[in-house]
Amino acid sequence: MKKINRIDFSGPFDKQLKKAPLNIKIAFKKRLTIFIKDPFNSRLRNHQLTGKLKNYRSINITGDWRALYSSNKINKENVIIFEALGTHSQLYK
């Protein structure tokens, strides 16, 4: 992945994060800090998705919670957009 110029959060992601339990909010903030320093840190288990979610990547927030993001080129900048947050079963149904 090229240098990240900006990180954005979609409307649905913001709503999902707001509704998430406090421990998940705290865990996401910690994982985001790791992601900013090293998007492929082994603790994140960052991986490309397949099928209908093939345009997204996933990082682990906790054992069951995941954050999905897309990588976009906007005005020559590499922009990460966090698109969805939820449990494995909520996201991959």
Output the pTM of the full model.
0.93
Name the fold adopted by 6-91: YaeB-like fold (3.30.2310)
Q: Which pLDDT value is given to residue 74?
A: 84
Q: How do the domains of the chain map onto residue ranges?
A: 6-91
Give the model confidence (pLDDT) of 31-65 as tens digits.
Answer: 999 999 999 999 999 999 999 999 999 999 999 99
Q: How far is CA 63 from the centre of its chain?
A: 14
Dump the DSSP string for 28-61: HHHHHHHHHH-TT-GGG--EE--GGGTT-EEEES
The DSSP call for residue 2 is P
Give the model confidence (pLDDT) of 11-26 as tens digits.
Answer: 999 999 999 999 999 9
